[in-house]
Structure 1
Amino acid sequence: MRNIIKVTTLSLVAAGTLYAGGYKIPETSLNAIALSAANVAHSHGAENAYSNPANMVFMENKQNIEADLIYIGLDPVRYKSNDGKTDINAKKETFLLPSLHYVSKKLGNNARVGLSIVVPGGLSKRWNDSPAVEKAKEFTLKVIEINPSAAFKINDKLGVAVGFRIVSTTGIVKSSAAISRDMTGDSIDMGYNLALAYKPTKALEIGLTYRSNVDLTVEGNAKLYIGNAKVYDGGSSVTVPLPATIDAAVAYTFPTQTTVEFVYERVNWSAYKNLDFNYVSNSPTILKPYFDDPIAKEWKDTNVYRLGITQQMEKYTLMAGAVKDESPVPNKSLGFELPDSDSVSVSGGVRYQYSKNLNVGFAALYSMRDTRKTTNDNDVDGEFSNSNVLIMSAGLGYKF
């Protein structure tokens, strides 16, 4: 029972921080999906408001708006125990997510403002079979970010920007075992972002962005059961880090109007050292040692490598990309709520200039995740496979 209680706590707290890791969604626009998010240095549309707001000062002096509808499909993850007695699959998950980006005209000679409303991450994992239902019968996280920003042109080659991150989080966690749970929580938290765009020549572009750590102060209600007896129904809270990220990018445009961009991303997941879950003072004394004691997580910093290629034509813009991503989750923290692994993704897309001011497009990205074997304190003694992800987007951009 002690192990079940600890796993229950682990799953709920993880729900508050799964903005990134294996289910991070940096592809928050059509171009970002088509280029595997290698659109930090070279970008000229409204998605600049999120990908690199410093680029806004180099855009044509018109208002720009982009609206995208993004589809995400998660394959049904398979778990097979090492002893061969368990072979189960999670449910297939599908989502439709909107994104919106806006960039203003020039304010004076050297400033512009932008606004993005995006879904930068999230998770949904549901299982029907034991032992998974004992830890994560349902594990859902929804994240929405509102990101206003302002950019300033220092000179004809250099722009800088600052923005504010307003992150809304809601989560649902359910499990079914000797000790069961039904938990919900939400929060609104703040952070900031900084950006730089440097264009030393017409062909060479350099971008640098930083997104700050945001502490997700999730609060909500928890119902805990031992057998059929409800032993707790009250407040619960936890604070966990949404880690800082830094992206450094360089892009070069050849005379053929072919642009190649490389992005190196560093994610500071090592800030996620432990979990410390809290209940209000009237929680059952028998549960306090198990739910309130900090649990070591010790996630690691990760490196992400992105490559994007853009071919500009008279009416069409063709895009392709690839990305290699690392999992931050060590073996001892791996569980049914986040069966994460390293991945390689490929992507592509096209935009069509329908008229002088209107363009439409389509993009897709397929992420292939490694099979992962582990034995750990979460009672996971087996192999996770079939964790692949498909992302598609259709959208339009308009300037006026």
Structure 2
Amino acid sequence: YESLDATGFALLRDSGYTPPCGLVRDPSIMRHTDGMYYVAHSTARAGNQIGLASSTDRVTWTFLGNVTLTTSRVGSVWAPEWFIDADGSVNIVVSLRVGGSARGALRPYKITATDSSLATWTIPTPLVGLPAGCIEFFIVGVGPTYHAFYKNSRSKRIELASAPSLTGPYTSWRSPDSVVGDGQGPALIPLDNGGWRLYFEHYRRGGVWFTDSYDTFRTWSAPVELPGLSGVVKHLTVVKEVVPGGATLPLGRLSLRSGDLGNQYWRLVNDAACLEVVTSDSSTAVRREATLTVVRGLADPNGFSLRASDGRFLRQGGSRLHLSGFGATESFARDATFAVRRGLGASSVALESYSYPGRYIRRRGRELWLEPYNESYRFRTESSFGITDAWS
């Protein structure tokens, strides 16, 4: 699957990778410095191996072989996850049962590739300070600190611990429920607006969910079920890439037309954005209220901000789109910045909130509001807008 916004995922291919033998359990994907994509996965419920495969396009995969973990009598290997360190070293973090048994407590270890081809690996090294029985580790580095997200197999919670090095020692944050009170299979990506998104599976309710953090993991937004993938996939990982092309807005003056209401255009009425009929017979004032000036995003030059003829900007406030005088604050800039995505129709666009990724400008009746993305045709039509010449 792939997505333009980390929320709406579309099927890329309905048949994935199958190894010549064994299972594909808990797969993890990364893109290496050689431009290739690599998958690591568990191969069986018991044993001492993980499988590797590579791809140039994420669609066609080539089996590379199994890696045997040569430490003291590995009984089983769970949930291998890639981690590329700041020094460029390629690591896989795994949960192991040692002592020859496929039962007993799992503990986290890391192995490191000893050559660029990923053909040979170090012996497993334990991660120190993490509690026994915790599995499905996903590690991210922020500055000099390593943050490990994992499932506590006893409490069924996703917890967080941090350390000054990849191998530890780790210290847990406000155990036992600092992140998600009921979850497994954590995976994280950085968002364009400086936040982080945590994907996870609800342990009891099922389905794939996400939650966002903007203060380096101290607090999290209310979890939202991920449309499209929930109930379809398990233990996902997501790779974020910057690719050229895509939808855009031309800088300068333009007008925006509803994707499903014919000749109704964005118009500013009593400082609020709404949809109204505008024609060549409309008054000069109405045509001016239906004209916007597009500038580079106040919070991010890769996004866009929309300015009215009087110089004020459109921003979200309480999820409603309205005009506001310029405010030299970070929150104002974020609320007045939007990412442009492809709309449903040809040459139409959809506008995603920079402050609230996954929320789009959508008509509610004739008013314009931010609403969470969903897969429905109705949502996609009501959040699509055509670009036209400026009315004034």
From the CA coordinates, give the structure whose radius of gyration is larger.
2
Q: Which has more helix, going by share of residues?
A: 1
* TM-score clears 0.5: no
Could you say which structure has the greater relative contact order, defined with CA pairs below 8 angstroms and 6 or more residues apart?
1
TM-score w.r.t. length of structure 1: 0.29
TM-score w.r.t. length of structure 2: 0.29
Q: Which has more strand, going by share of residues?
A: 1
